[in-house]
Amino acid sequence: MSRSIRRGAVAATLALALAPLAAACSSGTDAATTQLKPDSAYTQVGTIKVQNLSLVTGDEGSGLVSLGGALINESDKPETLKQVTLAGAAAPGTMKGQDGATSITVPARGAVYLTGEKGGPSVTFSGAPDATAGKYVDVTFSFSTVGQTKLGVAVHLPEDHYEALKPSSSPSAAPSTPSAPATTPPASAPATGTSASPPATGAASGAPESGGPTATGTATAPATTPAANSSSRPPASNEPANS
């Protein structure tokens, strides 16, 4: 077989092998390469798109889980996210919206991003021990107008680009303990009271100066006896005239 015939056979074989791939690439937006789905969860309810959802755990044993994602409003009116629940959590998620609101409002033709940014909107769940990394847990969104939607969301460890979403524990009440030492200074009050009491006893016993050497407890007795004797002697002052 000549060299030119062998080249023609190889070209024909390659053309047959590449024909299915060429057909897939030429099918526009329906091509298989455009049908790949991201790892993060997404859904749509009415005019609200919920995209790029992920759950991120807190410290081991804390039971805290935070929600990350994007809420996109395709309506001409604002939409309010009233509640978010996590399957197995002790309570609905704690939401922090704009200006300290307990709900999150998605503006008309706008979006809200849950990225873990300090001071930004957030959703945090507590008491969720079953939400461990590698699992999918159902999350339910309740909106004011379009209603509810539920979907499974993957749980991740707070690592790499998920680290910013790590939920933090609420501040403890430990800073209030320093007030305890402030109560100890009144304990010095009895010391000042005892120092004030000796002058008071000294004034009571200081009527006669001769009583100074005696104990303060007995000083009151001598003070009363002279008075008693002087009151009993008025008749005796007249006796020298008889002698």
Question: What distance, in Å, lies between the first and last C-alpha atoms of the chain?
Answer: 183
d(CA 115, CA 162): 9
Question: Is the distance from CB of 91 to CB of 127 less than 8 angstroms?
Answer: yes
- Name the more confident of 33 and 94: 94
Residue 46 has pLDDT above 80, yes or no: yes
Confidence of residue 99 (pLDDT cuts 50, 70, 90): confident
- Taking the CB of residue 55, how many other CB atoms lie within 10 A of it? 27
Q: What is the pLDDT of residue 40?
A: 74
92 backbone dihedrals φ, ψ, rounded to 5°: -60, 160
- Name the more confident of 243 and 47: 47
| Percentage, residues of the chain above pLDDT 70 | 53
Helix/strand/coil (H/E/C) assignment for every residue in the chain: CCHHHHHHHHHHHHHHHHHHHHHHHCCHHHCHHHHCCCCCEEEEECCEEEEEEEEEECCCCCCCEEEEEEEEECCCCCEEEEEEEECCCCCCCEEECHHHCCCEEECCCCEEEECCCCCCCEEEECCCCCCCCCCEEEEEEEECCCCEEEEEEEEECCCHHHHHHCCCCCCCCHHHCCHHHHCCHHHHHHHHHHHHHHHHHHHHHCCCHHHCCCCCCCCHHHHHHHHHHHHHCHHHHHHHHCC
What is the residue-averaged pLDDT of the chain?
Answer: 71
Q: What is the pLDDT of residue 24?
A: 43
pLDDT tens by residue, 167-206: 987 533 333 344 444 455 555 544 444 444 444 444 434 4
Q: What is the pLDDT of residue 224?
A: 42
- Taking the CB of residue 121, how many other CB atoms lie within 10 A of it? 20
pLDDT tens by residue, 200-232: 444 434 444 444 444 444 444 444 444 444 444
Question: What average pLDDT does the segment 46-64 reach?
Answer: 96
Say how many CA atoms lie within 13 Å of 217 toward its Cβ. 0
Residue 98 has pLDDT above 70, yes or no: yes
- Which CATH superfamily, name and number, covers 41-160? PCu(A)C copper chaperone (2.60.40.1890)
Confidence of residue 117 (pLDDT cuts 50, 70, 90): very high
| Percentage, residues of the chain above pLDDT 90 | 48
- Name the more confident of 180 and 100: 100
Q: pTM (2 decimals)?
A: 0.56
* Bridge partner list, 124: 66, 94
pLDDT tens by residue, 120-161: 999 999 999 889 999 999 999 999 999 999 999 999 999 999
Query: Residue 5: what residue type?
Result: I
Report domain extents, the chain. 41-160
Question: Is the distance from CB of 137 to CB of 143 less than 8 angstroms?
Answer: no
Question: What average pLDDT does the segment 51-64 reach?
Answer: 95
Residue 75 has pLDDT above 60, yes or no: yes
d(CA 65, CA 215): 76
Q: What is the pLDDT of residue 124?
A: 97
- Name the more confident of 26 and 123: 123
Q: Kindly list the distances between the CA atom of residue 71 and the CA atoms of 99, 147, 151, 169, in Å, as whole numbers in the listed order.
A: 18, 14, 14, 25
